[in-house]
């Protein structure tokens, strides 16, 4: 059974665990470097990116997660998780994990009163997928190896670069499992490659 970790320092952890388990994988809450062992994939959930960063630093999780990324383990970041993955954050000097070749802007759709939900089509995933945007970031620029999977109002809101999947919105707040399923397929392919 595939083991998918969820960074569990703060934020929407429970929702991801539910989706991962519904798709027949084992979900592991990650609170320390110990918990990263033998993971086939890692989810970085929504929450407050500034809070998560402080806690990542304090518990020395940044380097172990970067090492996991360097080892090719697939990672899926939603909202704050996307901000953690990005190589560059508009208005900030340094990134967090800085592993995915995208530039993101925080709170780029406005404050909470501007938060919204919409149905959209996602390349390789499907149509009419409910997407919940909460004080969401978006991808301002993407490197040449980044595949753009979805846009909303001309802004990139879902993209993949090899092992990394970065998402502005929150598939975990809906009953629709298709985006998570897409990520688990990424994990499965990667695990099969390693096995051969």
Q: What is the maximum span of the chain, computed from C-alpha positions, in angstroms?
A: 50
List b or e across 6-42, with b for residues whose CB sees 16 or more CB atoms inside 10 angstroms: bbbbbbbbebbbebbeebebebbebeebebbeebbbb
Q: Which stretch binds another protein (CB under 8 A): 33-41, 127-135, 157-165, 183-191?
A: 127-135
Q: Which stretch binds another protein (CB under 8 A): 51-59, 95-103, 158-166, 184-192?
A: 51-59
Q: Which is nearer to another protein, 41 or 137 (CB)?
A: 137
150 vs 152: CA distance, rounded Å: 7
Has 48 been annotated as catalytic?
A: no
8 binds another protein (CB under 8 A): yes
63 binds another protein (CB under 8 A): no
Which of 79, 96, 105, 152 is catalytic? The answer is 79
Instruction: Please state the closest distance from residue 9 (CB atom) to another protein, in A.
Output: 6
37 binds another protein (CB under 8 A): no
Q: Which stretch binds another protein (CB under 8 A): 64-72, 126-134, 143-151, 181-189?
A: 126-134
Q: Under a CB-based contact definition with an 8 Å cutoff, are residues 40 and 28 in contact? A: no
User: Hey, what are 118's tokens?
Assistant: 């919409």
CA 184 to chain centre: 12
Distant-in-sequence, close-in-space partners of 92: CB < 8 Å, separation ≥ 6: none
Q: What's the Rg (C-alpha) of the chain?
A: 15
Q: Which is nearer to another protein, 84 or 132 (CB)?
A: 132
Distant-in-sequence, close-in-space partners of 35: CB < 8 Å, separation ≥ 6: 5, 28, 29
- Using CB under 8 A, pick the residue from 36, 39, 75, 79 that binds another protein: 79
44 binds another protein (CB under 8 A): no
- For another protein, the binding residues (CB under 8 A) are 8-15, 31, 46-48, 50-51, 54-55, 58, 79-80, 106-107, 110-119, 132-135, 170, 173-174
Q: Where in the sequence numbering do the catalytic residues fall?
A: 79, 170, 172
């Amino acid at each position: 059974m595939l083991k998918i970790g969820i960074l569990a320092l703060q934020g929407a952890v429970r929702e991801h665990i539910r989706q991962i388990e519904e798709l027949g994988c084992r979900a592991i809450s990650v609170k320390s470097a110990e918990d990263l062992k033998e993971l086939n994939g890692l989810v970085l959930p929504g929450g407050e990116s500034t809070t998560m960063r402080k806690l990542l630093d304090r518990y020395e999780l940044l380097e172990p997660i970067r090492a996991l990324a360097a080892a090719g383990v697939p990672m899926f970041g939603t909202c704050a998780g996307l901000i953690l993955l990005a190589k560059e954050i508009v208005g900030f000097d340094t990134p967090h994990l800085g592993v995915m070749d995208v530039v993101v802007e925080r709170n780029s759709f406005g404050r909470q009163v501007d938060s919204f939900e919409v149905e959209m089509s996602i390349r390789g995933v499907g149509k009419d997928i409910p997407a919940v945007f909460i004080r969401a970031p978006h991808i301002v620029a993407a490197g040449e190896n980044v595949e753009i999977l979805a846009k909303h109002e001309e802004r990139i809101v879902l993209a993949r670069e090899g092992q990394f999947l970065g998402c502005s919105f929150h598939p975990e707040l809906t009953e629709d499992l298709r985006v998570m399923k897409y990520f688990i397929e990424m994990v499965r392919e990667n695990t099969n490659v390693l096995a051969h």
